[in-house]
DNA sequence: GAGTGGTCTAGACCACTGC
DNA sequence: CAGTGGTCTAGACCACTCG
């Protein structure tokens, strides 16, 4: 029992009838999430082995294992046999299509390209404040960009971000980086998107989208409103995308 | 080692270097799925306890537990502490919204009602045969129905089913049953939908949908094409729905 | 109280990776 | 070869449900 630095093991072996009972492995899970949140290990990095964590938290390896199992199931961690357990990253190709469900109607994978158009600062209105859990008037960043597939514009996005977290975000930064937006966010701002909720509707194309997507006014477009969360279920991105579903569709697996 | 009736334990404790190596708990999992497929336990029923299955398969309780864990994660089984493990059923309210992602834009849960319109038999064309894994000319059943929320039509569905499996399906049967279609399917035809893949697009309303959904021709509608699978990844339902997203939206969680 | 699933442990061995 | 995660076991005890 050393508690040598870092997060010490405030783990409790409780027995029954406590109103706040939580199994050991869940406490370990919480401690691990806190460590991730605190940046003890960055995305892509290797975390300590199960045995090391077991001694650190003063539990058996099996208990650590169960905690890691759940985190891996939630895509927070990534296990690789023989190598170790890593912090999940949007850089990983396996994680890329988790948040972009658009696929060509017929045919194979197409190269995609993000084209940033604008990036400016503003103050949060009532709606932005509500969904991003800010106060009205708090600084926000607004980004507009287009996503191209095979050279053709398919998605027009408008993205709202909390200004304090993304203080240094500029149009140039997005233009320079060839990676996905989420990769940029996690590499430059330490913000990793964990999960998101999307609301889909069919809408008619308005003026601005007709120009960006080269379609007639009134054409049906798929409106995708997304709220993304980072560690601790904190909302950190609100975006609205208009998807042209002439040659693509939104693919969804119901499990 | 008794092998008393039913599926006997052809489980192999393999050691390394076999080209077809599969861990014990996966073999157990396969055996359990086969038992489900064979109808040894029907939806909603209690399956034997972990200890019973362990002796039956000649493995430890922990190994059975891991197999059941995965089946429960895949929504094939449902664990209930203190009671036992049950075969998942679409009758369970917890499973109801797994396949219907439509929610009111603002406001609370609305009562929904399925209104069957037509039900007729036909021969599979090339497309129906392809997606349902049938031969061209095989019998199929086609159903048209409308889904109402709060008394207003919101979804117009066209459903294609393999004719041999759903031989006794009639319009009257659907009108009589107050349950969901999938509940009817599993109760009357022993077909349980396990998972599905949906393809979403925005389209313009055509003549027939304008009548059913009371919208102007050309209005944007959400087209949802769904292919549903039962045990063994066998496709057993193809449906195309047109969703009116004036007051509702399709909700999707990205994990 | 008996029976179920849920947690936790300790130890053995296997499969994979990289030095 | 050593170190990692992955599997399997056996046993103890806890939490929940029901008769």
Q: Which nucleotide is nearest to A18 (CA to C1')?
A: D15
For residue A231, the tally of other CB atoms under 10 A from its CB is 17
Residue B5 confidence (pLDDT): 36
Confidence bin at A1 (pLDDT 50/70/90): very low
Nearest CA distance, A234 vs chain B (angstrom) = 14
Nearest CA distance, B157 vs chain A (angstrom) = 17
| Region of residue A16 (phi > 0: left; psi between -120 and 50: alpha; otherwise: beta) | left
CB B223 within 8 A of CB B200: yes
Q: Answer whether residue B12 shows pLDDT above 90.
A: no
CB A215 within 8 A of CB A200: no
The span from the CA of B10 to the CA of B34, in Å, is: 13
Q: Considering the domain delimited by A24-87, tell me its CATH architecture.
A: Orthogonal Bundle (1.10)
Residues A85-116 pLDDT 10s: 999 999 887 777 889 999 999 877 788 899 99
Which pair of tokens denotes residue B174? 């659907």
Residue with tokens 């499996």: B165
* E strand or H helix at B180: none
The integer distance in angstroms from the CA atom of A88 to the C1' atom of C16 is 20
Q: Answer whether residue A34 shows pLDDT above 90.
A: yes
Are A220 and B204 in contact (CB < 8 Å)?
yes
Q: Answer whether residue A226 shows pLDDT above 50.
A: yes
Mode of pairing for the β-strands spanning B234-243 and B84-87: unpaired
The integer distance in angstroms from the CA atom of A19 to the C1' atom of C11 is 34
Mean pLDDT within B128-141: 96
Judged by CB atoms within 8 Å, which residues 151-210 of B form the interface with A?
195-204
CB B228 within 8 A of CB B29: no
Confidence bin at B16 (pLDDT 50/70/90): low
Question: B50-57 and B61-73 helices cross at what angle (nearest 10)?
Answer: 120
Least confident among A14-28, A154-168, B192-206: A14-28
Confidence bin at A231 (pLDDT 50/70/90): very high
Percentage with pLDDT > 90 across chain B: 83
Residues B20-68 pLDDT 10s: 789 999 999 999 999 999 999 999 999 999 999 999 999 999 999 999 9
Give just the sign of the alpha carbon dihedral B102, B103, B109, B115. Answer: negative
Q: Where are the domains of chain B?
A: 24-87, 93-250
Residue A30 confidence (pLDDT): 96
DSSP-assigned letters across all residues of A27-60: HHHHHHHHHHHTTSS-TTPEEPPHHHHHHHHTS-
Burial of B56 per CB tally in 10 Å (0-12, 13-18, 19+):
buried
Q: Give strand ranges (E) for A139-213.
A: 139-149, 152-162, 195-204
Nearest residue to A153 (alpha-carbon basis) of A141, A145, A161? A145
Q: Answer whether residue B191 shows pLDDT above 90.
A: yes
| Beta-bridge partners for A162 | A140
The span from the CA of B201 to the CA of A251, in Å, is: 9
Residue A9 confidence (pLDDT): 46
CA distances from B90 to A184, B143, B184, B186, B195 (A): 42, 20, 9, 8, 12
Q: Answer whether residue B232 shows pLDDT above 90.
A: no
Q: Would you call A150 an interface residue with chain B, using a CB distance cutoff of 8 Å?
A: no
CA distances from B78 to A22, A102, B25, B61, B225 (A): 21, 32, 18, 17, 28
Nearest CA distance, B4 vs chain A (angstrom) = 34
Decide: CB of A20 under 7 A of nucleic strand D. no
Nearest to A254 among B99, B243, B254 (CB): B99
Rg of the Cα atoms in chain B:
21
The span from the CA of B197 to the CA of B203, in Å, is: 19
Average pLDDT, chain B: 91
Q: Would you call B221 an interface residue with chain A, using a CB distance cutoff of 8 Å?
A: yes
Residue A96 confidence (pLDDT): 75
Nearest to B202 among A74, A222, A255 (CB): A222
Mean pLDDT within A208-218: 94
Residue A19 confidence (pLDDT): 65
Q: Which CATH superfamily is domain A93-250 in?
A: Chorismate lyase-like (3.40.1410.10)
**Any residues with CB less than 8 A from the CB of B203 and at least 6 apart, and which?**
A202, A220, A245, B220, B221, B222, B223, B242
The span from the CA of B147 to the CA of B153, in Å, is: 6
Are A204 and B220 in contact (CB < 8 Å)?
yes
Nearest to B202 among A74, A220, A226 (CB): A220
CB A140 within 8 A of CB A161: yes
């Amino acid at each position: 029992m050393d508690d040598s630095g870092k997060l010490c093991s405030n783990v409790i072996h409780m027995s029954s009838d406590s109103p706040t009972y939580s199994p050991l492995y869940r406490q370990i899970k919480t401690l691990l999430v806190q460590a991730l949140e605190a940046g003890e290990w960055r995305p892509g990095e290797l975390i300590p082995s199960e045995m090391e964590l077991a001694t650190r938290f003063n539990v058996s390896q099996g208990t650590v294992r169960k905690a890691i199992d759940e985190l891996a199931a939630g895509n927070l961690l990534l296990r690789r046999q023989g190598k170790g357990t890593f912090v999940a990253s949007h850089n990983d190709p396996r994680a890329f299509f988790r948040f972009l469900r658009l696929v060509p109607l017929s045919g194979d994978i197409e190269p995609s390209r993000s084209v940033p158009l604008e990036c400016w600062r503003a103050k949060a209105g009532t709606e932005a404040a509500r969904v991003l859990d800010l106060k009205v008037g708090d600084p926000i960043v607004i980004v507009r960009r287009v996503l191209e597939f095979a050279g053709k514009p398919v998605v027009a996005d408008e993205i709202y971000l909390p200004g304090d977290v993304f203080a240094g975000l500029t149009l140039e930064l997005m233009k320079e980086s060839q990676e996905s937006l989420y990769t940029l966010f996690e590499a430059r701002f330490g913000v990793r998107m964990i999960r998101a909720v999307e609301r889909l509707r069919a809408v008619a194309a308005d003026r601005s989208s007709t120009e960006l997507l080269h379609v007639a006014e009134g054409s049906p477009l798929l409106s995708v409103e997304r709220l993304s969360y980072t560690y601790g279920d904190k909302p950190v991105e609100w975006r609205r995308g208009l998807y042209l579903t002439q040659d693509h569709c939104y693919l969804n697996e119901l499990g």
